[in-house]
A and B are shown apart, each in its own frame.
Chain A
């Protein structure tokens, strides 16, 4: 069973716009992570937010975490064509393994 679910499943925006994707999860967590996957490639870690943090920034990325709602959001500001990829949230619910959501496919149109 999936620990996380991303919303929306797909998102298409113009270059320069902001992209927001959301993640909901089911159980208590120690931390939540976001990964990016370019087409035909492996996943690459973007950012980690701990359960006692509410917001974190890294470059053009902003992640929020609401443990009371069991949800997180990833905001990519001033998007670029190179941001086109699938984005996954992952939580460490059981035995310190990571469990991934179904992903959001982001397309940034130049």
Chain B
């Protein structure tokens, strides 16, 4: 049971380039989300999905795009990378999309992105 798998672990981009961070989970979790972690800022929610075909914006969605065509996968796309998007990105999932009693997240190992 792999849990939440993120690829790549490290990536360097030039300003203006595009790329996709991949996230896959094998736990049949309905809910998936993307966070970015910056020094002194904690984790901030970028986008989330409560099921296949459904996505919504979090706190800091600008510059990022997501889709959820399957339960397992939730890719994060950077359309035109900017230095301000240099960060560590975490994908996380949980069992249910609602219910306050079951929103414990399982995190991936993270993807470190540098934009030059």
Contacts and interface: CB of A to CB of B under 8 A. Distances in A.
A92 interface: yes
Interface string A65-106: 000000000000000000000001010100111111111000
Given A31-B101, A42-B109, A45-B105, A99 B41 contact: no
Nearest to B4: A42
A31 B94 CA distance: 15
A42 B42 contact: no
Given A42-B107, A43-B105, A98-B105, A30 B100 contact: yes
Size range of the interface on B? 20 to 34
Contacts of B58: 97
A103 B38 CA distance: 11
A97 B96 CA distance: 11
A92 B105 contact: no
Contacts of A43: 43, 90, 92, 105, 107
A43 B92 CA distance: 9
B103 interface: yes
B45 A97 contact: yes
Interface string A1-44: 11010000000000000000000000000110101000011111
Interface of A: 1-2, 4, 30-31, 33, 35, 40-45, 48, 50, 88, 90, 92, 95-103
Interface of B: 4, 33, 35, 40-45, 48, 56, 58-59, 90, 92, 97-101, 103-110
30 contacts: A2-B41, A4-B42, A30-B100, A31-B100, A33-B104, A41-B109, A42-B90, A42-B107, A42-B108, A42-B109, A43-B107, A44-B107, A45-B104, A45-B105, A48-B104, A50-B101, A88-B42, A96-B97, A96-B98, A96-B99, A96-B100, A97-B33, A97-B58, A99-B45, A99-B59, A100-B35, A100-B43, A100-B44, A101-B42, A102-B41
